[in-house]
Structure 1
Amino acid sequence: MGYLRSAWPWRAALYLLSGCLCTVAVGLGAAGLVLTAPGGVAGACCALLLVTGAVGVSGVFERRRLVLVDRDRHGVPRRRRAIGYGAVSVLAVGWVDLGVLLLALGIPCGLLLSPLQPTAATWQSVTGPIAGVLLLPVVAYPVGAWAGARGTVAREVLDPGDRRLREVTRSRARLVDAFDAERRRIERDLHDGAQQRLVALHMRLGLAGLDLPPGSTAAKDVREAHTLAGEALAELREFLRGVHPQILTERGLPAALRDVAGRCAVPADLDLGVPGRLPTRVEETAYFVATEALTNVARHSGAGRCRVTARLHDEVLRLEIEDDGAGGADPARGTGLTGLADRIAAADGRMFLSSPPGGPTLLRADIPCSSPPAS
């Protein structure tokens, strides 16, 4: 019943009807030229030219009307494929579409109009429309099935390369999601396990040092162990912050960006216009980009100040990191820019880099916030 309540039965019927109209128009035009032309040869040539032109237009028209049964966007088809499919569609398959529509809709429509027949009996005037109404939902299924099959064939013929590219994009997105989930698991295990044990060890060493005689060798060794435990704890916390920061999960992207900017060696100004929470993938990608970009600023730019801007516009998060350093950033020099571009592309986003010699350097990431299509 969900199919019948949706717009798909109407879209399927409109998809087939548009193909039928194109086929019938070409057929009638060709027949008219043959019958009305002064000479048989001239009429045949005109009809051939008409069919040839219609075939080319039909292939392009097919891509336009394919959106009725396929929501995915498609690129411009190759000319040979478009012409070949147009020829098959106009000369053969279009007539099959017409037959399917006439067979599927002709019987219910005939029953609905049965009371208008002069010879119809009284019982036919009553039962005919009822039977027609009951048959209409039934015929919606074969019409939808045929339209779906036609659309699948058209998509594979006209757009095989883009379809494979979409599958690769979806596969890459799934890999990124799996990688992020594994990072979150590692962060959770380290936070709840190793970090808690290090905290307990650090505290017990501190308490043990208080019980030892000041100046003794044992007290000195315990103090050194206490210091080393504190350093290990600090390093683990820094590592966990890089794997998947707890602040990003608990408080969202703006708070996480303030945290990473506050820890940057180069003073950073913030301009954050992100209302509320964003999809998890978007927040994680933006945080990863900001962290790596600010690390590059601190290590390679020689900048005295930088700026982090995050704005949401038309369902796209725009993240910009700008610094007043020496410029000349080059992805080939191994500063992580290629990895940034790959990570942004995996989220269906785009990265722009402007870094002329002498600066300033501007890195911009546009990350769409809409959900990716399910595979």
Structure 2
Amino acid sequence: MTTVSDETSWRTLTGGPSRFLASSWPWRSVAYLLTGWIVAMLWVAVTALLLIVPAFGLVLLLGGIPLGVVERRRLRLIDPVPAPSPHSPPARPGLVAWLGTRFREAVTWRELGHAVLFSLVLAWVDAAVGLLVLCAGYVMAFPVLIALIPEYQPELFGLIPARQPEALLATALGLAVLPITLYLVTAYAAARATLARRFLVDRPDANTEHRVRELSRSRERILDAMDAQRRRIERDLHDGAQLRLTSLIMTLGMARLELAATPGPASEAVEDAYRQARTTLSELRELVQGIHPQVLTNRGLPPAVTEIAERSPVPVDVRFELPHRPPGAVEAAAWFVISEGLTNVARHSQADRAWVTCAYAGTLLVVEVGDDGVGAADPDRGTGLQGLTDRVSVLHGRITLSSPPGGPTVLRAELPCE
């Protein structure tokens, strides 16, 4: 069952003659077409008055906005789909902010173009098409007119004389022509409404693309903020807690040497504290390394990856072909891909060897982490691939995992550098 909300002139046109002729859409179409010229004349008159005063020239550039408001309301006659205003609210109150917002919006200029086209051409074509229905009505009423107005005795189209009963042929002709005319007029009105909507209402695709762009920029800003926070935490830990812990280890080491000649409970307590402090320092360094390594910021990707490879329990071959450093966000993403990839190699692959390659391919930085292990890696098994995918996608990159049973497993990331 068709509801009021999804009943449109286009749908009614394809719904069968009886349904179409019994609906209100033909007459709503006629009303839409025959009222446009009134709006056009008013707009032209007001525009002409404003032209008399040169100071109002700036206002004329915004003249499409009020006409757009009227036309979006008139669209309700022929198109029940809501036609909200596409204008954005100003960032702050005040006339200056409102003018600045309107002049920057593309829809303002679309509305101005529509106003000129509508007032000079479309409104008059609409009226001419709408008058076709009145012409059909005149043909149908021809016998009544000559009966009520005896002095009105023209021949209809030079074919039907103004006398009874021959004049009844005009009524038959009008009844035959009226349904065809209503179909044509309604189809034209629906097409006109579609054209008006193109000018006066934001297109869904444009809105979607705008939202996608804004979302992408927002994700990039969030990633930049996260990386900056990581670097700050790493710097604070490196320059603060790590230095103090190193100083504590040195102090305990000196006490350990002093008490080495006098074994006892005090010596054992200092020895235990010394071992725990060294273990804590090692764990803190691992934590700092995982957050954002200082060597990556200071010296770049190859030294940072070499440092990871040297600590890996699986031997790693590292090959870089980087004539210049990539952008900071790309460099950080590549490091996280390599770090996570080598962590998975150590935990899951049962590999004898692993390799890391990093090189430019056009405008892309291509990173690969592979191993000769057992393969069959499952990205849904908590290998961190989803987190890497999210980070890479923010940079409009791509990440793939190839891991057939028996190996080899290759994690590949392609990161745009532009």
Give the count of matched residue pairs. Answer: 265
How much has 1:241 moved relative to structure 2?
A: 0.9
Aligned counterparts of 2:189 and 2:306: Cα–Cα separation in 1: 65
Counterpart of 1:200 in structure 2: which amino acid?
S
How much has 1:158 moved relative to structure 2?
A: 3.5
1:353 counterpart residue number: 401
Distance 1:346 1:209, change over 3 A: same
Does 2:291 correspond to 1:243? Answer: yes
Residue 383 of structure 2, aligned match among 322, 335, 351: 335
1:185 counterpart residue number: 232
Counterpart of 2:315 in structure 1: which amino acid?
P
Residue 207 of structure 2, aligned match among 137, 160, 167: 160
Residue 348 of structure 2, aligned match among 300, 315, 325: 300
1:271 counterpart residue number: 319
Q: Which runs of 5+ in 2 are unaligned?
A: 1-109, 130-176
How much has 1:19 moved relative to structure 2?
A: 10
What per-residue deviation string (whole Å, max 9, x for no partner) do you get for residues 136-193 of structure 1?
xxxxxxxxxxxxxx8xx656x4322232222222222222222222111111111111
How much has 1:210 moved relative to structure 2?
A: 2.0
Distance 1:368 1:228, change over 3 A: same
Aligned counterparts of 1:213 and 1:257: Cα–Cα separation in 2: 40
- For the pair shown, the structure with the greater C-alpha radius of gyration is 2
Distance 1:307 1:50, change over 3 A: farther
Aligned counterparts of 2:366 and 2:257: Cα–Cα separation in 1: 53
SS for the counterpart of 2:303 is helix
Aligned counterparts of 1:274 and 1:213: Cα–Cα separation in 2: 52
2:170 counterpart residue number: none
Distance 1:357 1:85, change over 3 A: farther
Aligned pairs (5 A) from 1:1-375: 86=195, 88=197, 157-217=204-264, 218-370=266-418
Counterpart of 2:263 in structure 1: which amino acid?
S
Aligned counterparts of 1:233 and 1:329: Cα–Cα separation in 2: 33
SS for the counterpart of 2:380 is helix
What per-residue deviation string (whole Å, max 9, x for no partner) do you get for residues 186-245 of structure 1?
111111111111111011111112222525112232222222211111111111111110
Aligned counterparts of 1:159 and 1:331: Cα–Cα separation in 2: 35
SS for the counterpart of 2:374 is coil
- Give aligned-pair identity as a percent: 49
SS for the counterpart of 2:312 is coil
Aligned counterparts of 1:50 and 1:258: Cα–Cα separation in 2: 71
Aligned counterparts of 2:246 and 2:319: Cα–Cα separation in 1: 36
Distance 1:222 1:166, change over 3 A: same
Aligned counterparts of 2:300 and 2:408: Cα–Cα separation in 1: 29
Aligned counterparts of 1:179 and 1:278: Cα–Cα separation in 2: 19
Counterpart of 1:184 in structure 2: which amino acid?
R
Counterpart of 1:191 in structure 2: which amino acid?
H
Counterpart of 1:189 in structure 2: which amino acid?
D
Aligned counterparts of 2:260 and 2:362: Cα–Cα separation in 1: 67
Quote the RMSD (CA, aligned, Å). 3.8
SS for the counterpart of 1:332 is coil
What per-residue deviation string (whole Å, max 9, x for no partner) do you get for residues 253-279 of structure 1?
122122112221111112211222222
Aligned counterparts of 1:219 and 1:183: Cα–Cα separation in 2: 39
Distance 1:205 1:358, change over 3 A: same
What per-residue deviation string (whole Å, max 9, x for no partner) do you get for residues 344-363 of structure 1?
11222111111111111111
What per-residue deviation string (whole Å, max 9, x for no partner) do you get for residues 81-115 of structure 1?
xxx755655xxx5xxxxxxxxxxxxxxxxxxxxxx
TM-score (norm: length of structure 2): 0.54
TM-score (norm: length of structure 1): 0.59
Distance 1:231 1:161, change over 3 A: same
What per-residue deviation string (whole Å, max 9, x for no partner) do you get for residues 35-76 of structure 1?
xxxxxx99xx99x99999x99xxxxxxxxxxxxxxxxxxxxx
Distance 1:228 1:159, change over 3 A: same
Aligned counterparts of 1:294 and 1:159: Cα–Cα separation in 2: 42
Stretches (4+) displaced over 4 A: 48-52, 84-89
Counterpart of 1:216 in structure 2: which amino acid?
P
How much has 1:246 moved relative to structure 2?
A: 0.6
Counterpart of 1:185 in structure 2: which amino acid?
R
How much has 1:303 moved relative to structure 2?
A: 1.1
Q: Return 193-202 or 331-340, whichever deviates more.
A: 331-340
How much has 1:331 moved relative to structure 2?
A: 1.8
Counterpart of 1:282 in structure 2: which amino acid?
V
Aligned counterparts of 1:367 and 1:230: Cα–Cα separation in 2: 39
Q: Does the Cα contact within 8 Å between 2:235 and 2:294 map onto a contact in 1?
A: no
Counterpart of 1:306 in structure 2: which amino acid?
A
Counterpart of 2:291 in structure 1: which amino acid?
V
Aligned counterparts of 1:160 and 1:213: Cα–Cα separation in 2: 75
Q: Does the Cα contact within 8 Å between 2:300 and 2:325 map onto a contact in 1?
A: yes
SS for the counterpart of 1:333 is coil
